[in-house]
């Protein structure tokens, strides 16, 4: 639905009709429940979640909610999205059907991890070695040298938050290692020599 320019997601949601508002609130809560660290903004006139770039946009329309997870987000979940109207970068969730909360959760996690991966790869001179959880989310990112872990490595929970970080030299743990809580705060540090 066409609305005047808003500067916050709260303003955007409050300006929508009741049916749209319920869906918008549910999408927002769903995404923040798995990725509370995301920055909220308004981009292209739509509520947007950001983390190393845009994660997803969402918007109210006359008969549906649009979720904009980029082409990669749609491609990764093409099978699950077969019962919805989908274009290159958009998914339509009609108001006459329940919102697919689990699917939206998985899409959000995928997009957070995709952005995190892209940001980390940009910093590396060598293509990283990546290990995945069974659901396809990133579990670990680091470098290998002669078949052994080398340099900085990071491990992630399925929701995309960091679990552990540390370094290797010739396949052996060295230096400071940290374990993180779900809010990204280090709660345990170990030093390896």
Per-residue pLDDT of the chain (193 residues; tens, 9 = 90+): 454 688 999 999 999 999 999 999 999 999 998 888 899 999 999 999 998 899 999 999 999 999 999 888 888 888 999 999 999 889 999 999 999 999 999 899 889 888 887 877 777 666 678 888 877 778 888 888 888 999 989 998 877 778 999 999 999 999 999 999 877 788 999 999 8
- In this predicted structure, what is the pLDDT of residue 147? 87
Specify if 1 maps to a domain: no
- Please indicate, yes or no, whether residues 136 and 92 belong to a single structural domain of this protein: no
- In this predicted structure, what is the pLDDT of residue 126? 63
Nearest to 67 by CA among 48, 45, 51, 95: 48
- In this predicted structure, what is the pLDDT of residue 159? 74
Nearest to 91 by CA among 110, 109, 104, 106: 104
- In this predicted structure, what is the pLDDT of residue 42? 96
Handedness of CA 49, 184, 177, 172 (dihedral sign): negative
- Please indicate, yes or no, whether residues 99 and 180 belong to a single structural domain of this protein: no
- In this predicted structure, what is the pLDDT of residue 124? 62
Cα atoms in the 13 Å half-sphere on the side-chain side of 187: 8
Handedness of CA 123, 124, 127, 129 (dihedral sign): negative
Count of domains for the chain: 2
- In this predicted structure, what is the pLDDT of residue 118? 81
DSSP state of 146: T
- In this predicted structure, what is the pLDDT of residue 125? 62
Write out the E strands in 1-135. Answer: 39-43, 46-50, 54-60, 64-68, 85-86, 91-94, 129-132
- In this predicted structure, what is the pLDDT of residue 169? 94
- In this predicted structure, what is the pLDDT of residue 28? 97
Q: What is the CATH number of the domain that holds 22?
A: 3.90.1150.200
Domain enclosing residue 29, as ranges? 9-113
- Please indicate, yes or no, whether residues 169 and 98 belong to a single structural domain of this protein: no
Domain boundary residue, one of 113, 140, 159: 113
- Please indicate, yes or no, whether residues 142 and 164 belong to a single structural domain of this protein: yes
Write out the E strands in the chain. Answer: 39-43, 46-50, 54-60, 64-68, 85-86, 91-94, 129-132, 138-145, 148-156, 162-169, 172-180, 186-192
- Please indicate, yes or no, whether residues 109 and 130 belong to a single structural domain of this protein: no
- Please indicate, yes or no, whether residues 78 and 129 belong to a single structural domain of this protein: no
- Please indicate, yes or no, whether residues 19 and 56 belong to a single structural domain of this protein: yes
């Amino acid at each position: 639905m066409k609305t005047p320019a808003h500067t916050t997601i709260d303003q955007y949601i409050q300006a929508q009709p009741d049916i749209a508002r319920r869906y918008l609130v549910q999408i927002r809560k769903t995404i923040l429940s798995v990725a509370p660290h995301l920055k909220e903004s308004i981009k292209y006139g739509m509520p947007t979640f950001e983390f190393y770039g845009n994660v997803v946009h969402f918007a109210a329309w006359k008969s549906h909610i649009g979720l904009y997870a980029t082409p990669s987000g749609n491609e990764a979940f093409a099978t699950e999205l077969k019962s919805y109207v989908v274009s290159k970068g958009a998914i339509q969730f009609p108001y006459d059907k329940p919102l697919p909360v689990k699917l939206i959760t998985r899409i959000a996690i995928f997009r957070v991890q995709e952005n995190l991966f892209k940001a980390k790869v940009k910093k590396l001179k060598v293509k990283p070695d990546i290990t995945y959880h069974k659901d396809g989310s990133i579990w670990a990112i680091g470098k290998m040298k002669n078949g052994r872990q080398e340099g900085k490595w990071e491990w992630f929970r399925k929701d995309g938050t960091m679990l552990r970080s540390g370094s290797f030299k010739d396949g052996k743990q060295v230096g400071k290692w940290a374990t993180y809580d779900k809010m990204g705060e280090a709660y345990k540090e170990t030093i390896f020599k």
